[in-house]
Amino acid sequence: AQKITQTQPGMFVQEKEAVTLDCTYDTSDPSYGLFWYKQPSSGEMIFLIYQGSYDQQNATEGRYSLNFQKARKSANLVISASQLGDSAMYFCAMREGRGAAGNKLTFGGGTRVLVKP
């Protein structure tokens, strides 16, 4: 079974509008972390935002916020006021367990976002 599922392979969004990227995950470990990364066409992986399984509040970083619904096992990324530079692949990832051995990231298949002017 997929541990991280991103159901939207691609989407268009109008500049200045908000967009929500879906991510659902599957784990039986009570301690886990969820990450979102951006990969522009240049290829580098850029960390955007983190949500810990024990965090009480939804994470926010500038225009990025995470809609964390623990019972539903979803961690959707919301990008507000989209900009042309937001056009990229977006990956949701999960870290399970503790310590150094628990540090590997399991990635979803990604969502390609194209911002239209």
Q: Which residues bind another protein (CB under 8 A)?
A: 31, 33, 35, 37, 39, 43-45, 47, 50, 52, 89, 91, 93, 95, 98-101, 103-107, 109-110
Q: Is the Cβ of residue 76 or residue 110 nearer to another protein in the bound state? A: 110
CB of 19 to another protein, least distance (A): 19
Q: What DSSP assignment string belongs to 37-100? A: EEE-TT---EEEEEEETT-SS--EETTEEEEEETTTTEEEEEE-S--GGG-EEEEEEEEESSTG
Q: How many CB atoms lie within 10 A of CB 27?
A: 17
Q: Is the Cβ of residue 79 or residue 88 nearer to another protein in the bound state? A: 88
CB of 40 to another protein, least distance (A): 12
Token pair belonging to 6: 């991103």
CB of 16 to another protein, least distance (A): 27
